Amino acid sequence: MDREKLKSLTENSVIDKLYVEEEVTSTNDVAKSMSREGFKGRALIVSELQTKGRGRLGRNWSSPAGTGIWMSLLDTDTENLVNIPGITLLAGLAVAEALNSLSGEECARIKWPNDVVINGKKVCGILTELISSGTESTVIIGIGINASMDEFPEELKDKATSVFLEIGQKPEREKIITGVVTKLTEYISAYKITGSLGFAMDRYHSLMVNKGKEVILSSANGDFYDNPYIATGIDEEGNLLVEDKSGTVHTVQSGEISVRGVLGYV
Ligand code: BT5
């Protein structure tokens, strides 16, 4: 990773601090430590390798050296952030738009709530966490993008892909990072002001891969009795709207939910 190529992020005050690391357990863990040590403002942590990359619900995130973008944006100004799950959706939108402007096509799409996919395979996952101590809280947005790997471990082969495998060019990671973080911080500022995802709704819906599709919902407590549902879109808080067979619309919060297509992952 070329730190020089990322310096516009601090020069243009998109972020206050930039950390470029060779190896960490998880960039979200580094962000957590910074928050506990009293950091104030907006920082970006990027690492070549993560030894303990994490997904949701304690799942593993494969983060080999050199071929991916493993980064966390941390923001301690959370007073006006009313709804944290909405941030994950904005991050997905920022990533999909940045990848599409790289390829010049609308191939990257968002799989609600936290994946970006190209041609039905996962190219990016997002893990948003909120750390609170006393009255203060910090939001940490962890973003993993498969950039230039040409193969995946056996267990991920059918589900995962990279920008290189789909778009055919080894992307300049710094360019993607700059695009994503610039967009995402703009979206977060708008979200803080309006308190709603309304401003991003049309763009989100146009890139949402599971909109209008049959989806299978599952959760640990198994309370989805009417699978499959039709996903009709999101509301202004970022909840998923689904219709059951009788046409009744239900609102689903992202929390501990998994969503997949009827025939597979999408
Ligand atoms: C996610 O969880 O998709 C969130 C991933 C967030 C990763 C970033 S990297 C920077 C920051 N630091 C961290 O430690 N994490 C964040 P989830 O929806 O639970 O998906 C996890 C599942 O995705 C796994 O169980 C695998 O099936 C699959 N998976 C793991 N590694 C992958 C990869 N590199 N590409 C595509 N799929 C992967």
Q: What is the pTM of this model?
A: 0.96
Q: Give the integer Cα–Cα distance in Å for 195 and 80.
A: 7
Q: How far is the CA of 61 from the centre of ligand 1 (A)?
A: 4
Question: Which pLDDT score, from 0 to 100, does residue 12 have?
Answer: 96
Output the CA–CA distances (angstroms, integers) from residue 126 to 68, 95, 136, 157, 222, in the order listed. Answer: 14, 10, 23, 19, 23
Closest CA to ligand 1's atom 37: 160
Q: How far is the CA of 115 from the centre of ligand 1 (A)?
A: 9
Residue 171 beta carbon below 6 angstroms from any ligand 1 atom: no
74-131 residue pLDDT tens: 999 999 988 899 999 999 999 999 999 998 889 999 999 999 999 999 999 999 999 9
Closest CA to ligand 1's atom 33: 62
Question: Which pLDDT score, from 0 to 100, does residue 2 have?
Answer: 95
Closest CA to ligand 1's atom 35: 160
Query: 190 near 199, Cβ under 8 Å?
Result: yes
Q: Give the integer Cα–Cα distance in Å for 168 and 179.
A: 19
Question: Which pLDDT score, from 0 to 100, does residue 174 have?
Answer: 98
Residue 55 beta carbon below 6 angstroms from any ligand 1 atom: yes
Question: Which pLDDT score, from 0 to 100, does residue 139 have?
Answer: 97
pLDDT band at residue 14 using 50, 70 and 90 as cut-offs:
very high
Q: How far is the CA of 186 from the centre of ligand 1 (A)?
A: 24
Question: Which pLDDT score, from 0 to 100, does residue 189 have?
Answer: 97
30-42 residue pLDDT tens: 999 999 999 999 9
Asked whether residue 72 carries a pLDDT value surpassing 80, the answer given is yes
Question: Which pLDDT score, from 0 to 100, does residue 128 have?
Answer: 97
Question: Which pLDDT score, from 0 to 100, does residue 233 have?
Answer: 97
pLDDT band at residue 66 using 50, 70 and 90 as cut-offs:
very high
Question: Which pLDDT score, from 0 to 100, does residue 222 have?
Answer: 73
199-255 residue pLDDT tens: 999 999 999 999 999 999 998 777 788 899 999 999 999 999 999 999 999 999 887
Question: Which pLDDT score, from 0 to 100, does residue 169 have?
Answer: 84
Output the CA–CA distances (angstroms, integers) from residue 77 to 27, 111, 237, in the order listed. Answer: 19, 28, 19
Closest CA to ligand 1's atom 30: 61
Residue 147 beta carbon below 6 angstroms from any ligand 1 atom: no
Tell which residue, 130, 134, 132, 95, has the closest CA to residue 111: 95
Residue 42 beta carbon below 6 angstroms from any ligand 1 atom: no
Q: How many CA atoms lie within 13 A of 108 on its CB side?
A: 29
Ligand 1 atom closest to residue 55's alpha carbon, by position in its atom list: 2
Category of 195 on φ-ψ map: left (φ > 0), alpha (ψ -120 to 50) or beta: left
- Mean pLDDT lowest among 58-62, 182-186, 226-230, 257-261: 257-261
Q: How far is the CA of 50 from the centre of ligand 1 (A)?
A: 11
Residue 95 beta carbon below 6 angstroms from any ligand 1 atom: no
Tell which residue, 6, 37, 25, has the closest CA to residue 63: 25
Question: Which pLDDT score, from 0 to 100, does residue 23 have?
Answer: 98
125-177 residue pLDDT tens: 999 999 998 888 999 999 999 999 999 999 999 999 999 999 988 999 999 99
Question: Which pLDDT score, from 0 to 100, does residue 219 have?
Answer: 85
Asked whether residue 257 carries a pLDDT value surpassing 90, the answer given is no
Pocket test residue of 61, 72, 162, 258 for ligand 1, highest count of atoms within 8 A of CB:
61
Task: Give the pair of three-digit tokens for residue 58.
Answer: 């304690």
Closest CA to ligand 1's atom 11: 142
Residue 121 beta carbon below 6 angstroms from any ligand 1 atom: no
Residue 112 beta carbon below 6 angstroms from any ligand 1 atom: no
